[in-house]
Amino acid sequence: MKNLRFVGIIYFLGFSVIFSCAPDDGGDPIVEPDIPSSPASVSLSEAVFYNVNLNDRTGDSFKVRVFVEGLTDANAIFQFAATAPGTYDRLNFGTYVNDFRAYNEDYESLGVSKLSTNQWQLEEPNNTAIIEYEIRETWDEINPVDFIYRMGGTSIEEDHSLINTFAVMGYPTGLKEKKYIISIDRPADWLIGTALPENDNGYYVAQDYDHLADSPLLLGDLTNATISIDQTDIDIWTYSVTDVNTSADIKYQIEEVMYDAKAFLEELPVDNYTFLYHFGEESAGALEHSYSSVHVMEDIPVSQQSAWIKYVAAHEFFHIITPLNIHSEIIEDFNFVNPTPSRHLWLYEGVTDWAAWLMRYRNSSIGLNYLLEEFGFKINVNENYFDKSYSLTDISLKSYTEEGAEQYSNVYYRGAIVAALLDIRLLELSNGERGLREVMLELVERYGPENEFQDDQFFDVFVAMTYPEIADFIENYIQGTTDLPYQEYFNKIGIQYDPATYALTPVSDPTAEQQFLFERWRSNF
Ligand SMILES: [Zn+2]
């Protein structure tokens, strides 16, 4: 229950309203402008202070005020995110900015100029004390320049708001490593769901911009439920446009998935995790973060979409393992300015999706037929709906291009099936001792959240950790576009593949070898 938040307190933010009314010669009062100020508890030498005013929801835009101190010429460019972790997509949030302004400490206007889509130049950084702008929500944008999935965007409505922080807050260049302290003015009855820690003054504190960008907030007319599993506190926050869904309804789906994950991972890898659910007009999917995920689902009862909710929760939660625990330098020091592709989406998305299915099967939450149906479906989609001359490495390296964006989604089909084949191959080569799960757990031990691998060397590391034959596997099926050996590989565990229907079915009389490998494949050992 530790994340249960008490709200209804409107924090006084120190926006001093000073009306100096002295009669002049004509007897009219002189009205000095209000000078906004940051709270005394915040040291601007250590932190960038943000105020987002959700009491003013006019124009479908967020009203943002940033307080800074001691900027130099090196900090003169104010940057909005061109992309964000986990999206593998161009987002260009600068296109949503209205009315960007800068002020000195007397709240007198300073010059600014727009340099590029996501960059504004502060003409007098040394004198800049306050930056103000409005930034439109992405959900209601008509004809957006770049399509933004709802789970990676923003919404501001009468009774709730979704804030993906990277879509609302930019940063002065050179200050990405500073602390970011956020105050949010909002209606007194609005609840806030986020994994971002709250300080005693009611402000949310991020250790740096990456931490801020990793921490979405869902606010408004929400319901909350909590689950504790061993040392892990799981917090669920839900907005439902018709109130048909509550966090209490989703709690049981999440609980099942968490026990599946625990069995697969031996223990849950974080001490807290927050699920943010928005149930509205469409089901868009979800986006992962280190301690939370944003799920955008259709507002039909949970009981009618239970399988979908559990699959998505399993997939997003497994992202804690990769890319969050196992990733290259490209993810570690994320480039918000120039989208930089990693070549390992086969791992970050393909292996993650495979694990989301296997972990539930192995813990008996789904049956063998259901799992094989899904694998068959993924094979069908890979064979018929995407460009087969695109390797998984191509999907990764071209994800930010227009052409690559069209092939991107195959990472959830081809990527997951390649992971399933890799798992079978590893089990075969290790004589049933070590499948993909065991290698992933070894990689977590080896790297963890603080140590990245080198993007261009990881295939060699993976081969060195496993078997020389895996070099061929990577060359053919991850870097290359050789036809995937569905029949040959699934047959090793006694599963028959029918290329006419893409169906996978258990053989009726498995050999002893098939039986042995199947037994190893079906359980977490
Ligand atoms: Zn994913």
Contacts of 496 (CB under 8 A, 6+ apart): 487, 490, 504, 505, 506, 507
- pLDDT (tens digit, 9 = 90+) per residue, 278-303? 999 999 999 999 999 999 999 999 99
CATH, domain range 321-525:
1.10.390.10
Kind and range of the H or E element at 273?
A: strand 272-280
Fold agreement between 222-318 and 321-525? yes
Mean pLDDT across 195-205: 97
- pLDDT (tens digit, 9 = 90+) per residue, 93-121? 999 999 999 999 999 999 999 999 999 99
Tell me 336's DSSP state: S
Ligand 1 centroid – CA 23 distance (Å): 64
Can you give the pLDDT at residue 34?
84
Ligand 1 centroid – CA 246 distance (Å): 24
Can you give the pLDDT at residue 31?
58
Ligand 1 centroid – CA 200 distance (Å): 34
Q: How confident is the model at residue 13 (pLDDT cuts 50, 70, 90)?
A: very low
SS3 for 281-313 is CCCCEEEECCCEEEEEEECCCHHHCHHHHHHHH
Each domain of the chain, given as residue ranges in start order, spans 47-221, 222-318, 321-525
CATH, domain range 47-221:
2.60.40.3650
Q: How confident is the model at residue 331 (pLDDT cuts 50, 70, 90)?
A: confident
- pLDDT (tens digit, 9 = 90+) per residue, 153-179? 999 999 999 999 999 999 999 999 999
Ligand 1 centroid – CA 319 distance (Å): 7
For the question of whether the overall pTM of this predicted structure is more than 0.85, the answer is: yes
Ligand 1 centroid – CA 251 distance (Å): 21
Q: How confident is the model at residue 324 (pLDDT cuts 50, 70, 90)?
A: confident
Ligand 1 centroid – CA 315 distance (Å): 6
Ligand 1 centroid – CA 60 distance (Å): 29
Ligand 1 centroid – CA 89 distance (Å): 13
Mean pLDDT across 8-17: 29
Contact 352, 319 (CB under 8 A): yes
Query: What does the buried/exposed string (b/e) look like for 143-164 if buried means 16 or more CB atoms within 10 Å of the residue's CB?
Result: ebebebbbbbbbbbbeebbbbb
Higher-confidence position of 350 and 269: 350
Ligand 1 centroid – CA 364 distance (Å): 23
10 Å CB burial of residue 384 (0-12, 13-18, 19+) is: exposed
Query: What does the buried/exposed string (b/e) look like for 241-255 if buried means 16 or more CB atoms within 10 Å of the residue's CB?
Result: beeebbbebbbebbe
Can you give the pLDDT at residue 476?
98
In the chain, the percentage of residues whose pLDDT exceeds 90 is: 90
Ligand 1 centroid – CA 308 distance (Å): 14
Can you give the pLDDT at residue 525?
85
Ligand 1 centroid – CA 224 distance (Å): 24
Ligand 1 centroid – CA 267 distance (Å): 21
Ligand 1 centroid – CA 342 distance (Å): 14
Ligand 1 centroid – CA 434 distance (Å): 24
- pLDDT (tens digit, 9 = 90+) per residue, 428-468? 999 999 999 999 999 999 999 889 999 999 999 999 999 99
Instruction: Please calculate the CA angle 218-154-269 and round it to the nearest 5 degrees.
Output: 50
Ligand 1 centroid – CA 353 distance (Å): 7
Contact 301, 357 (CB under 8 A): no
- Selecting from 1.10.390.10, 3.40.50.300, 1.20.1330.10, 3.30.1380.10, what CATH number does the domain 222-318 have? 1.10.390.10
Ligand 1 centroid – CA 44 distance (Å): 36
Ligand 1 centroid – CA 153 distance (Å): 16
- As a whole number of angstroms, the distance between CA 223 and CA 246 comes to 6
- pLDDT (tens digit, 9 = 90+) per residue, 263-283? 999 999 999 999 999 999 999
- As a whole number of angstroms, the distance between CA 209 and CA 111 comes to 25
Mean pLDDT across 395-412: 94
Ligand 1 centroid – CA 296 distance (Å): 14
Can you give the pLDDT at residue 30?
58
Mean pLDDT across 132-159: 96
Contact 67, 129 (CB under 8 A): yes
Can you give the pLDDT at residue 266?
95
Can you give the pLDDT at residue 217?
98
Residue 73 has pLDDT above 60, yes or no: yes
